[in-house]
Amino acid sequence: MRLTRRRFLRTTGVAGVWLAAGRAHAQAPRPITVTHSVSTFVYGQHLVAREKKFFEAEGVSVPGFIVPGGGAKVVQALAAGQAMFALGDSNHPLKITEKGRDALMIFATDTRCSYANVVVRKDLYDKGVKSVEALADRKLVGRRAVIAATAIGSGTYVYGVYVLKETKAHDDKPVNDHVDWVGGGASTTMLGGLKAGKFDAIMAVPEWQFAAESEGFGRAIYDVLDERAWNRVFGGPIPVTVGYVLKETVETSPDLVQAYVNATYRAQQWIRRAKDDEIVDLLHTPYMDTFKREDILKSVRYYKTIFDWDFMIDERDYANGMKVWLPLAVEKPIPYARAVDMSFVRRAQARYKS
C-alpha cells in the first residue's frame, strides 16, 4: 500500500504540474505581427493599443511593430506574410486584391485625407495665388505651376491629382491640366524645395503645413479641415487610413483578427476620451522623441478632428473613395462586398460600448 500510495502521489503531482503548465500556456498571449509605415500619430491606434496593453488584454501580444518607412513596403510586408495586420492607406488592400490575392479593410480610423493639403509658396500667395484655381494662372505663378508630391503614384500624388482634377480653372478645364507634377521626396526635400522656389506648391501632411506656415515660407490654399472645401471636392467622408488583412487570415484565424480589432478599437475610444497632453505623455518618449513635444501636441489635436470614432466603413463613403482611387490607384472598381468586412468592428462595438 505504501508503494502504491507513493506512486499515486508522484503520478498525480506530475499531472498537476502538467495541467498548471497547460493552463498557463493557454492563457499566454499569442504573438501577432503588426505593421505601419512610420510611428507617428496618424497610426496612433497601434501605438496606444501597445502602450495601454490592450493587445495583451485581448489575448495577443505585439513585441514590436514592423515599421518599414513607406506605405508600399507595408503592403509588401503583409502580402509576403511578414505581417498579419497592417494600418495604412485604403488603396493598399485594393492593390493587393487587384494583383490576385484578396485583402480586406476591417476598420477605418479617419474620414478625411490628412495629406491632401495644398501649400503654396508664400511669395506666390502674396501675389494672389490664394486658391487652387489660381495655380492654373501662369501670369500669377510666372510659369506652368510645379507641384510636388512625395513621389509620382504615392498617396499624396493620388489625392493631389484628384483635388486639382475636381477644381476648374479659368478656361473651365481641370486645374490639373495646367500644372506639372514632380516627386519631392521626404520632409527635408519637400520643405526645402518649396522654400527655395524649386516647387510652386506641395502636397503637405499636417506637420509640413505647420512648418511652412510657422516659418513663413508657405501658406495653405487647400486645407482638409475646411469641411466645405473638403465636401466640394470629395463629396463627403472617405475611409482614408484603414486596418487591413489578407482574406485568408480572416478565414484561418478569425479569433486573432477579432483580438486585433478589439485592441485597436479600444485604443481609438481611449484617444477619444483622453486629454491631449495625456496622449502626448504616453507616446512621445517611446515613439516620437525626435519631434518637439509641441509639434506632437499639434498633431494630436489635428487628427482628433478627422478620426473616425466608430471605426465603420459605410458603403457610401467607400464609393466616395473609389472615385479617388480609380484609375490612379486601381485599374478597375472593386465592389464594397469584396473589399470590406465590418463584422469584427460590430462585435468590438457590442463588447465595448462607449
H/E element, 106: strand 103-108
* Residue 269 maps to a domain: yes
Question: For residue 101, what are the domain limits?
Answer: 32-111+238-351
Print the SS3 string covering 1-46.
CHHHHHHHHHHHHHHHHHHHHHHHHHHCCEECCEECCCCCHHHHHH
Residues of the chain with pLDDT under 50: 1, 8-9, 11, 14-15, 17-25
CB 53 within 8 A of CB 59: no
* Residue 325 maps to a domain: yes
> Structure pTM?
0.84
Residue at grid coordinates 482628433: 304
pLDDT, tens digit, 9 for 90 and up, residues 9-58: 454 554 454 444 444 445 789 999 999 988 889 999 999 999 999 999 99
pLDDT, tens digit, 9 for 90 and up, residues 172-192: 999 999 999 999 988 889 999
Which residue, 234, 252, 286, sits at the end of a domain? Answer: 234
Task: Please check whether residues 39 and 132 belong to one and the same domain.
Answer: no
- Looking at residue 349, what is its pLDDT? 97
- Looking at residue 272, what is its pLDDT? 97
Which residue, 171, 205, 234, sits at the end of a domain? Answer: 234
Q: From residue 231, how far is each of 113, 234, 320 by CA, in Å?
A: 12, 5, 10
* Residue 3 maps to a domain: no
- Alpha-carbon gap, residue 296 to 96, rounded angstroms: 32
Residue at grid coordinates 506666390: 124
The three grid cell numbers given for residue 180, joined into one nine-digit string: 506639372
- Looking at residue 1, what is its pLDDT? 45
- Looking at residue 186, what is its pLDDT? 82
- Looking at residue 188, what is its pLDDT? 87
Task: Please check whether residues 122 and 64 belong to one and the same domain.
Answer: no
